[in-house]
Amino acid sequence: MSLRKVLPISLSTILIVFLFGCKKDNNTTPAVITVKYEITTTAPLLDTTAMGSIQYTDSIGTDSTTSDFYPGHTSWTKTFTLTTATRPLTLKLSTPISYFLASQGSITGKIYVNDVLQTTSFSSTTNSFNIFYASLSETTAVVN
């Protein structure tokens, strides 16, 4: 065989391999993800004025608000299973309204994905005339 015949066939073969053999994975296969949000305080909640102030990304990937962190409690947990092909998926957790606590302390927020801690947010209480309050800034976890 002559070089004139072999060279075009070789170049064509290499081009086909690169064009069709090297596809980018776009994560289009739906995956089941277990998401857990956790908020803890070192002192019990005092009031109900902050009810409804926990914001998080819900099981369909949209922002949601809940009101089930009640006075006298020191923890709130939300766990659900999410099936999605969306990547990257951003999960959010925050308390945009301050919680009043029984004493000085702190508030901590955590996001877990498949039982692995992804992010932690922490805030100490602010004291104004022996009134203790704290809130969590928005914390995010990105699932690739």
Per-residue pLDDT reduced to its tens digit, 86-115: 788 899 999 888 888 999 999 999 999 999
| Residue at 105 is within a domain | yes
Domain contains 6 = no
Q: Is residue 136 part of a domain?
A: yes
The pLDDT value recorded for residue 17 is 55
- Is 22 within a domain? no
Show the low-confidence residues of the chain (pLDDT under 70): 1-28, 48-52
Query: Per the domain annotation, does 109 fall within a domain?
Result: yes
Q: How many domains is the chain built from?
A: 1
Looking at residue 35, its pLDDT comes to: 94
Alpha carbon distance 33, 55 (integer Å): 19
Q: State the average pLDDT for the chain.
A: 83
Residue-by-residue DSSP string for 2-38: -HHHHHHHHHHHHHHHHHHH-PPP---S-EEEEEEEE
Residue type, 132: F
Q: Rounded CA gap, 103 and 86, in Å?
A: 42
CA–CA separation, 7 and 133 (whole Å): 75
Expressed as residue numbers, the domain containing 81 is 31-143
**E strand or H helix that includes residue 63:** strand 63-66
